[in-house]
Structure 1
């Protein structure tokens, strides 16, 4: 085995994923310490008030609740369907004997052996399956919430607003994790053409993630002021 041809794959691909993982670890830290500086923290803060607000007048807002949960379920279903279809396609490619398993061009940087080509497809298949798994669990929690949120509320009921909020948080969290795992597979699709493109794509996705995950200064300052007022109230 010519290990020299594996140098770029062994260095650039893990480095690209270390950069992506480091960004998400930093995002998790900012969400825990400064929740109003990230869209994830603001959305989680709003969801904690959504369930009690819907339960106060569920007879009039039941259609709104059903439509909101339906939209969440449809989003998770779409991503789960896409992930499992890509997994099925990759499984067919791995098990086939066609020349599609070969490198498209000898000029592609990185290793071209059958082992490396198989490793690329197996890695993609594993990531898409994990994304499908997370989205499937998200659909399960959201369907459970759609039934329980219309349950009668009384003093002896175990279906409390806190319990329903926890289910909603689990469903949306799994949806977010499934989406991020799916997005992490996009650079790996370029691994078929070489590890250099994987690294460049991972670096290019960081500004996109940052603009999606963090709010602007004006919104952040407004949320801090609202939080301070609620503390003094």
Structure 2
């Protein structure tokens, strides 16, 4: 009898995670093999060209670089702050003695036990903590780039445009991962209203992300181009 309370959660929630993880693994494969067919690969290529241009004409464009990174750091700080605020709120809910499941116990499908409710909130807490960590590390790398991009290329070939580009790409990669983890918390939030909404939300998000992640013009030409 206990299984009847949990079978929807055991079926739909892992299926939702499988769909999301499979899509992002496939996206990662496309970024590695056909980078210019994806928005992330095309943007990475453009950022490398931008860094090279800024460092070659540093005296005229150093202010532009600083302003660009300042705006980027502000956006990353906002996401990191939002994630940690959510963590604090969830920690308060988990430690509270208030039983949040009673008002919706009889109106939704799926398990409603205390253990399941705690599992939902702990999952959300872990996701937001990882999102905060990724955004914090992204700020760290882009802060380093903010200093290095104004350095002239030295004779030892250590501070080069390639090195600065690599640091910048690490920052944007961490930012992207943090954003995707943050977005993945949306289906888990809907888990409080039933496991069916988790699967429905993920099934809706994946096509939306696909249209945002891929470039569709001149696809044949992009498939033949790699880094």
- TM-score bucket (shorter structure): over 0.9
Q: How far is 1:20 from its partner?
A: 0.5
Aligned position for 1:154? 154
2:152 alignment partner, SS class: coil
2:111 alignment partner, SS class: coil
Q: How far is 1:47 from its partner?
A: 1.6
* 1:153–1:20 Cα change, 3 Å: same
Aligned position for 1:170? 170
Aligned position for 1:32? 32
Q: How far is 1:151 from its partner?
A: 2.0
Unaligned runs of at least 5 residues, structure 1: none
CA RMSD across the alignment: 1.9
TM-score (norm. length: structure 2): 0.94
Q: How far is 1:103 from its partner?
A: 5.2
Aligned position for 1:202? 202
Aligned position for 2:18? 18
Give the whole-Å Cα distance in 2 for the aligned partners of 1:73 and 1:211.
26
Q: How far is 1:157 from its partner?
A: 5.4
1:109 alignment partner, SS class: coil
Aligned position for 1:111? 111
8 Å contact 2:105–2:112 — kept in the other structure?
no
| Superposition map of 1:176-195 within 5 A | 176-195=176-195
Give the whole-Å Cα distance in 2 for the aligned partners of 1:196 and 1:156.
59
Aligned position for 2:78? 78
Give the whole-Å Cα distance in 1 for the aligned partners of 2:29 and 2:154.
38
1:147 alignment partner, SS class: helix
| Superposition map of 1:88-107 within 5 A | 88-102=88-102, 104-107=104-107
Give the whole-Å Cα distance in 2 for the aligned partners of 1:103 and 1:18.
30
Give the whole-Å Cα distance in 1 for the aligned partners of 2:44 and 2:29.
15
Q: After the TM superposition, which segments of 4 or more aligned residues of structure 1 sit over 6 Å from their partners? A: none
Q: How many residues align?
A: 227
Q: How far is 1:154 from its partner?
A: 2.3
Aligned position for 1:216? 216
Aligned position for 2:57? 57
TM-score (norm. length: structure 1): 0.91
* 1:164–1:154 Cα change, 3 Å: same
Q: How far is 1:217 from its partner?
A: 2.7
Q: How far is 1:153 from its partner?
A: 2.5
Give the whole-Å Cα distance in 2 for the aligned partners of 1:5 and 1:105.
12
8 Å contact 2:84–2:128 — kept in the other structure?
yes
Aligned position for 2:123? 123
Aligned position for 2:67? 67
Q: How far is 1:156 from its partner?
A: 2.8
* 1:112–1:167 Cα change, 3 Å: same
Higher relative contact order (CA 8 A, sep 6+): 2
Give the whole-Å Cα distance in 2 for the aligned partners of 1:23 and 1:103.
35
1:107 alignment partner, SS class: coil
8 Å contact 2:35–2:41 — kept in the other structure?
yes
Give the whole-Å Cα distance in 1 for the aligned partners of 2:123 and 2:207.
25
